[in-house]
Amino acid sequence: MPMQQISLDELMSLLLTRLDGLTLESENQKMRFNIMFRTLYKKGLFTDDDVLDAVRDENRIMKEMGLIKEVPDENAMKSVARSMLLWLKGDVESLKRSMEEYEQQLKEAMAKQQKPRIDVAPAAVLNELDRMGGASQGGGKKIIL
């Protein structure tokens, strides 16, 4: 049986189509979970404290399974529970404000990071290094980091 060849473009198209399908399925599942949990919350089947306890349990389990190195501090867990509750309660204004604060913190953190620097040696220095180290087998230049 002859092998069928596939072009790189066809492969990329196939993979992107599959990725789009997975993304849609993920969004569909997320919407269903949001609807179900919002319904349960409104019916009073769990409380704000229950959500915080569940966040604590999740982190404890992940630590015991070795999926995380350490359990986040109490403030971080409260923050996660609070954001989940904002979503469940449908508090759009608070969600928007929270997203804006997060974006601002992200911008500040990125501004504090130093940009990586790439130093380029002059050609004469690189040629001298090549002579000192001997030429590579293919006659090509060596890259020294």
Mean pLDDT of 93-114: 87
Closest CA to 81 of 106, 50, 105, 60: 50
pLDDT tops 60 at residue 135: no
State what percent of residues in the chain have pLDDT above 90.
Answer: 57
Asked if residue 89 lies in contact with residue 41, where contact means CB atoms within 8 angstroms, the answer is yes
Mean pLDDT of 93-121: 84
Closest CA to 129 of 117, 119, 141: 141
Q: What is the pTM of this model?
A: 0.58
Asked if residue 71 lies in contact with residue 65, where contact means CB atoms within 8 angstroms, the answer is no
Q: Sorting pLDDT into bands at 50, 70 and 90, what band is 139? A: low
- Of 23-32, 33-42, 87-96, 129-138, which gets the smallest average pLDDT? 129-138
Residue 112, pLDDT score: 83
3-state secondary structure of 44: coil
Mean of the per-residue pLDDT values of the chain:
86
Query: Residue 128: CA atoms inside 13 Å, Cβ hemisphere, count?
Result: 5
pLDDT tops 90 at residue 3: no
